[in-house]
Structure 1
Amino acid sequence: MKIRFTKEVLNAVEPSNQRQRIKDAKVEGLVLEVLPSGRKSFRVYKRVKGQKSPVNVTLGQYPSLTIENARKLALSTLEKIAHGINPNEQAKVEAKAQITLHEVFHDYLSQKELSQSSLRGYNQIFNTYLNDWHTTPIANLTETMIKERHSSLSCTSRAQADYCMRVLRALFNFAQFEYKDSQDRPIYLYNPVKILSHKRQWNHVPRKQTRLTHTEIKKLLETLEVMRQETDPFTFAVCDFVEIALFTGLRKSELLCLKWEDVDFNEQTFSLTETKNGEKLELPMSNHLLTIFQRRREHTDNDYVFQAENDYGYIREPKKVIQKIEKQSEVNFTLHDLRRTFTSIAEQLRVGTYTLKRLLNHKTGRNDVTAGYTILTAKELSKATEEISLEMLSM
């Protein structure tokens, strides 16, 4: 049915049990769609040569959208269609072009398999240093804004400033491949964080070189033993955690969520499932580590090696107890210092490179062909583990 649209005519149209499409006699392709609910909407309904389905574009609801304005929008839409532009696809692209930083961050996290520690780090950066940009379309983030934010953060922490920009760079790289137009072409062609490289503004904070000396290792072990004798279960567990971290060189996130189901006393091994690189790792226990694990077994009654009375069932943050350990031992250290200490002692003992990489759960590069043929089991790693353990105990 084709009629000349007027207020009187459109107001008189009554809904039926089925959807109705009434064509405008003045503008070819403009229709009024009437739903059984009574809602009336203007649309452009146009068949295009070479396409199976007609282009169906919603213009707006009647009477909020007047007949005159509907005709103007219809003519503009028909012109785009005549030039090969699908207004629906164009609207999707325009919506993607206005996607906010928060939306990109959410999409990024939903598609990336990040470790719990990386996830916490990303959230901390995003919510602390980029919180005022959450609702900003990423297309509006300019090189000048990037430079100024990096410079401002560098006044407080040069390392955090670089970390923040690395997170932001990752989000832009993700957006470039994630959001595309109807021809599968990227909407975002440029990463503004690259300006920091062009201007040589990255801080490039050098890697820390701190580790425990022989004397400090001895003082630390003595303090841990004393604190275990006169303290509460939580502190007791943290002391065991610190000692195991020293004798394995493993990361905090890899150790704290260790479950008893992953500890094999018969084989004298334990397996890490929550690792930074996502790969499960089976490691041997030295005789000293075996003693610590046996002690932990006696002091726990749930699924976790480092049990704690909280919603998680295991220790989440040992920072306060570690501060007490530092104070009593007079040895200042970070958990990464323990990792560097383990690595340094292994190097002094001339532990093989691939053995050490495996003990530390480091990935080898794709172009390292030899690494692909070097398969080291827990049994083959046990000799190195025992040597490192005995070296530490002799200090």
Structure 2
Amino acid sequence: MKLNKSNVDAIPLSDSGQKIYRDQDLIGFAVRSTTKSKSYIVERRHAGELYRVVLGKTNEISALAARAKAQMILAQIANGEYKKPVKGKAAEDPLDITVGQALDIYIRRNDFKPKTIRQYKKYFDLYLGWSDRKLFEITKNEVLDKFLSVSEISKSSANGSVSLLGTLWKYIHVLYSSDENPILKSNPVDVIAVTKGWNVIARRQRHLHKDIIHKYYNAVLNYQDELNLENTARSNTHRDIILFTMYTGCRRQEVCGLKWSDVNFKTSTVLFRDTKNGTDHLFPVGDHLLKILKDRYLLRENDWVFPATKMPTSANMHATKVDRALKVLGDQVGYYVSMHDFRRTFATICNLLRFNIYVTKRLLNHTQKPRIDVTGGYVQIPMEELKASMNMIEAVYQGKIDCFNYESVWDERLKQIKAG
């Protein structure tokens, strides 16, 4: 296969041991998948000697960067010039810890999602550029100047990158400073709050409003592409991913990575494993979505509910995105939305249907914070109410319930709960 970003993202973790996925163009370049992670590697035999070099985890280095690095190492191996790199020792004096080393320590000691790690690397590589600077030598003036310069490029990235620097500074300070050997310095990032102030970022508001929701929904139902002609597991994959997201408000990576083993037709429930908040999310699906899943199950060919569409199902990889379908639908109805906009629409519909706030949080899988909301820790929501809520949301899209008609919403809600 071609080891590009989309194909690498679709490679599953190994159930046991390790599995190697080799690039079709660059011989010796591959991805090694284990039960816990995926890494780019070089594996090449030359002059009777086997070379194995780990280039980096797939969530820490881009496919393009890994390919370029592999080409360089393979050339060195072919010319007999490659020498195994010697790993550097960690700084013995905490005051000598660099920003890059601090980030490595922070990531290594915490259980971050791959997407979070990629974002942290992006902040430092693209915006700060201080990986080799000693963390405790960075001054307040330098931080303020950097914040202002990055703000001209992206206000949100300025907030994120400089805030992360402040978090690293505090983390390393607490980790290494002691009563016997205190680090007598103050966090330079504190200067932002008392001078310029953090950039104010307006929250996105785009969603399927009442004037477009049914037009868009009907366009999705009638969406066609070349895969529909196959009548295989890949048929209607993009359409069904979008419908699944509209009906459940889930995140793109959750629906794309759904396995058949996590769909329970007896209880009409779906399980998302290891979600953004670190927990598994079990929830019921509405009747229409359940029918869609049953139809797809009859055509299943591998482990994934939504298999990758650009390669044979025998590769056992899942779909990763539906950008082209969203573009086609946007052109058709004259209104463009992203996958996350469906999540915003879902929450809006929940509010218009007057769902209890704890029902909405439960359906969106938003974590209850006991210290902030003690009551939320006591509230237990029956699966029957969640099921009725999901059917009501489907009914809104189908035009059976007018959630924008505020006078009839409560009567419809009571009717659905009793029917459920």
Q: Same fold (TM over 0.5)?
A: yes
| Cα distance change of structure 1 residues 379 and 228 upon mapping to structure 2, 3 Å threshold | farther
* Equivalent in the alignment of 1:245: 245
Q: Paired residue for 2:166, among 166, 169, 174?
A: 169
Q: In 2, are the aligned partners of 1:150 and 1:161 still within 8 Å (CA)?
A: yes
Query: Distance in 1 between the 2:370 and 2:148 partners?
Result: 35
Q: Secondary structure of 2:303's match?
A: coil
Query: Distance in 1 between the 2:110 and 2:329 partners?
Result: 37
Q: Cα distance, 1:184 vs. partner? A: 6.2
Q: In 1, are the aligned partners of 2:262 and 2:272 still within 8 Å (CA)?
A: yes
* Equivalent in the alignment of 1:25: none
Tell me if 1:155 matches 2:159: no
The size of the alignment, in residue pairs, is 302
| Cα distance change of structure 1 residues 93 and 223 upon mapping to structure 2, 3 Å threshold | closer
Query: Distance in 1 between the 2:289 and 2:151 partners?
Result: 42
Which structure has the larger Rg? 1
User: How big is the alpha-carbon RMSD for the aligned residues of Structure 1 and Structure 2?
Assistant: 2.5
| Cα distance change of structure 1 residues 314 and 384 upon mapping to structure 2, 3 Å threshold | same
Q: In 2, are the aligned partners of 1:257 and 1:306 still within 8 Å (CA)?
A: yes
Query: Distance in 2 between the 1:332 and 1:141 partners?
Result: 43
| Cα distance change of structure 1 residues 244 and 189 upon mapping to structure 2, 3 Å threshold | farther
Q: Cα distance, 1:364 vs. partner? A: 2.1
Tell me if 1:225 matches 2:224: no
Amino acid in the other structure paired with 2:193: S
Amino acid in the other structure paired with 1:165: V
| Cα distance change of structure 1 residues 242 and 186 upon mapping to structure 2, 3 Å threshold | farther
The within-5 A match list for 1:116-135 is: 116-130=114-128, 132-135=129-132
| Cα distance change of structure 1 residues 213 and 235 upon mapping to structure 2, 3 Å threshold | farther
Amino acid in the other structure paired with 2:351: E
Amino acid in the other structure paired with 1:292: I
Amino acid in the other structure paired with 2:348: S
* Equivalent in the alignment of 1:273: 273
Query: Distance in 2 between the 1:112 and 1:145 partners?
Result: 28
* Equivalent in the alignment of 2:208: 212
| Cα distance change of structure 1 residues 352 and 152 upon mapping to structure 2, 3 Å threshold | same
Q: Cα distance, 1:329 vs. partner? A: 3.1
Q: Secondary structure of 1:227's match?
A: coil
| Cα distance change of structure 1 residues 351 and 187 upon mapping to structure 2, 3 Å threshold | same
Q: Cα distance, 1:390 vs. partner? A: 0.7
Q: Cα distance, 1:277 vs. partner? A: 0.8
Q: Paired residue for 1:322, among 326, 333, 358?
A: 326
Tell me if 1:382 matches 2:378: no
* Equivalent in the alignment of 1:108: 106
Gaps of 5+ in 2: 1-89, 403-420
Query: Distance in 2 between the 1:379 and 1:99 partners?
Result: 54
Q: Secondary structure of 2:236's match?
A: helix
Q: Cα distance, 1:300 vs. partner? A: 3.7
Deviations 1:360-391 (A, max 9, x none): 11112323221111122533311111111111
Query: Distance in 2 between the 1:135 and 1:103 partners?
Result: 8
* Equivalent in the alignment of 2:359: 355
Q: Cα distance, 1:263 vs. partner? A: 0.7
The within-5 A match list for 1:273-352 is: 273-308=273-308, 313-352=317-356
Q: Secondary structure of 1:271's match?
A: strand
Q: Cα distance, 1:151 vs. partner? A: 1.2
Q: Cα distance, 1:193 vs. partner? A: 1.4
Q: In 2, are the aligned partners of 1:102 and 1:135 still within 8 Å (CA)?
A: yes
Deviations 1:314-350 (A, max 9, x none): 2234334422332233221122221111111111111
TM-score (normalised: structure 2): 0.66
Q: Secondary structure of 2:93's match?
A: helix
Q: Secondary structure of 1:155's match?
A: helix
Query: Distance in 1 between the 2:213 and 2:280 partners?
Result: 29
Q: Cα distance, 1:188 vs. partner? A: 6.7
Deviations 1:253-293 (A, max 9, x none): 33222211111011100011131111111100101211222
Tell me if 1:365 matches 2:363: no
| Cα distance change of structure 1 residues 376 and 316 upon mapping to structure 2, 3 Å threshold | same
* Equivalent in the alignment of 2:70: none
Query: Distance in 1 between the 2:214 and 2:341 partners?
Result: 15
Deviations 1:59-92 (A, max 9, x none): xxxxxxxxxxxxxxxxxxxxxxxxxxxxxxxxx9
TM-score (normalised: structure 1): 0.70
Query: Distance in 1 between the 2:321 and 2:141 partners?
Result: 38
Q: In 2, are the aligned partners of 1:176 and 1:188 still within 8 Å (CA)?
A: no
| Cα distance change of structure 1 residues 299 and 154 upon mapping to structure 2, 3 Å threshold | farther
* Equivalent in the alignment of 1:192: 188
| Cα distance change of structure 1 residues 206 and 369 upon mapping to structure 2, 3 Å threshold | same
Amino acid in the other structure paired with 1:115: K
The within-5 A match list for 1:13-28 is: none
Of stretches 118-127 and 333-342 in structure 1, the one that deviates more from structure 2 is 118-127
